[in-house]
Structures are given as C-alpha cells and as structure tokens.
Amino acid sequence: MSGAGTLVRPGAYDACELCPRRCGVARSAGRRGRCGMDAELRVARSALHFWEEPPVSGDAGSGAIFFSGCPLGCVFCQNHEISSGGFGLVVTTARLAEMMLELQAAGALNVNLVTPLHFAPHVREAVLLARDAGLGIPVVCNTSGYERAEVVRELADVVDAWLTDFKYASPALAGELSGAPDYPEVASEALLAMVEGVRARGGSALGEDGRMLRGVIVRHLVLPGHADDSCAVLDRVWELAGNEVDLSVMNQYTPNERCRRAGGELARAVTDEEYEIVLCHADDLGFERIWWQEGGTVSESFVPAFDATGVEGPELESGASRPKRYTI
C-alpha cells in the first residue's frame, strides 16, 4: 500500500472529506469542520498511558498522543475537553514526529494515536518522518470506528494495529446518541478495511513480550439499558471478522455531567446483569480472545489529565503502581 491516495494528501483540508461527515469545509482557510478543527494540528497530551488492553499497554505503557477534535460527538463522551471543548496546543508535523520518538525513548510499547484521522495527512507525514529518524515500535490507531474506509486503506502502510470502537448496531441509537445514523454501516466498512490491511501484511502478530505488533482490537462499550444493541454489535463484528480480531467488552461507562442532568438510562452505570449478558453472548459466538473488565472500572480516573503534558517537550510519567482494568 503506497498511501498516495486521493484523500490523505496535503490538499485534503481545502474542502475536507476526511471523515464520514464529508462537510467539505475549507479547513486550510481557517474554517472549522464538523470535527471542530481547522487545518492546524492540535495535540492535548503525549505521555505513557497504562489503561489500554494488555497487548497495547502491557506493563511499560502505551505512548498515547491525544489529538484535539472529533467528528462523532457522542453525548456520553468522557474526553469532551478535547473532543468538543477545543483544548490542545498547535504543533507542527515535525514536532508530532518528535513526540513519537520521545515516547519510544521513554520505553513505550507503541505509539498510540488517539482520535487522529481528521488530521490524517499530518499523521501520515509524521509517522514517515519518525520512521526515517529511527522509530521502530508499532503505530496504533485508536479510533471511534467512525472512519471512511478509503482513509483507513490509505494509512495501511503507516498503521500497524487498530484499536477501534464499534459502538452501535442500531442506526436509530447511533443517531440519537452520536448524531450519526450511518454509524453501523460506516463502522462495518472501516472494520473490513482494517482487517484486510492487517491480513495483507501477514496477519495479526504479537511480540515475545505479548505486545501487539499487528492486528485489530475491536472495543465495545456496553451502555446502560442497551444490552440488546450490544449483543447485536457483537453479532455484526463476528460476521465481519470472526477471530481475526480481538474483542474488548467494556463496562466502564461513566455518566458525564450532560447525561446526569438529562436523567434516564444514561444517568446510571451498567449493571452486572447487563454486562454479563453481553459477555456470555460474546463467548457463545465463539470469540477466542475476549478482553473484559472486572468491577470497579466505573470511574473518571481512567480519563487522563488533558493539560498539554509532553506536547512541547518530554514530560513522561512513570508506570509504577498503575491500576489495571482488563482480564482475558
């Protein structure tokens, strides 16, 4: 895969169609697209992160770079400071590449790009620059799943592993909670492109230390009152990819202020019974690698401080005494 496609190129910001919204906004002229961003690359945090699935974080930590903005806009978002609040510092592509190298020097298992693809041209160039300068650890794309399959394909040569959400099977629920009734269709096409890209490079692979070198982990956050849709999501993922992907079923839903004010099902946590229904369904389908969460994960403590740590220079945290939240 050459990556020299029609979407991931410097001129993509002139009339942006990088995400499924295809808003066509002239981000290069300073206008903000549906993602909330113009063409200036913004990053909110660059630091070791210990709360991803074990193949991503391990004990050493994942080198997470959190990008500002998001095309999706879920009502229950935990990262609202950066997804819709606009927090982040403007950086150059060269500085983004330096962050990747700093994370590698700090011992990160990988470079974990969190919600990056509305900046896909910057991301592609930065990874290539970093690799030319000695980046040797895997690059992980951590995404909501709401991505154009064409963009996924054009980044297949710079992304080694995909950590992707699959949030909804119901178009109505996706429309209600994320304003994206096309989410199930879009996420399905994007997941197929991710799996095909990994397959073309030889399939999933783990290092001797258990880190993911290539592969796809599909995450699903169980929402209170919607265990039926969660089971339908797992049905779809199984039909699309089977055991070519790892499955991560999360119970960490935590109501944000907006959901608490609105009341209803989203104002509470997921019950043990709801979570067990979804886990049992995953097992019944035949998934061989299922990551699941034990009790006590409902907490905003898993949301890092968005304070520009590491954006202007290396300020990386130690991995000592970090809580774990996944079991296989």
Report how far residue 43's alpha carbon sits from residue 312's, in angstroms, rounded to the nearest whole number.
Answer: 10
pLDDT at position 260, please? 93
Cα→Cα distances 20→31, 113, 149, 168, 215, Å: 18, 19, 9, 16, 23
**Nearest-angstrom CA–CA distance, 129 and 231:** 42
Q: What is the DSSP letter of 3?
A: -
CA pair distance 187, 189, nearest whole angstrom: 5
Q: Tell me what pLDDT residue 241 has.
A: 98
Alpha helices for 201-323 (secondary structure H): 227-241, 257-262, 272-285
pLDDT of res. 297:
58
pLDDT confidence of residue 35: 96
> Residue 298: what pLDDT?
55
CATH class of 43-302: alpha beta
Give the model's pLDDT for residue 305: 79
| Global pTM value | 0.92
Alpha helices of the chain — where are they, by DSSP H? Answer: 54-57, 80-83, 93-105, 120-132, 149-154, 171-178, 183-200, 227-241, 257-262, 272-285
Tokens 């290069």 belong to: 28
Q: Please state, in angstroms and as integers, the Cα–Cα distance from residue 229 to each residue in 82, 224, 233, 260, following that order.
A: 28, 11, 6, 22
Q: Which residues of the chain register pLDDT less than 50? A: 1-3, 300, 316-324, 326
> pLDDT at position 304, please?
79
Structure tokens at 205: 């692979």
Which of 3, 106, 103, 109 has the alpha carbon at shortest distance from 43?
103
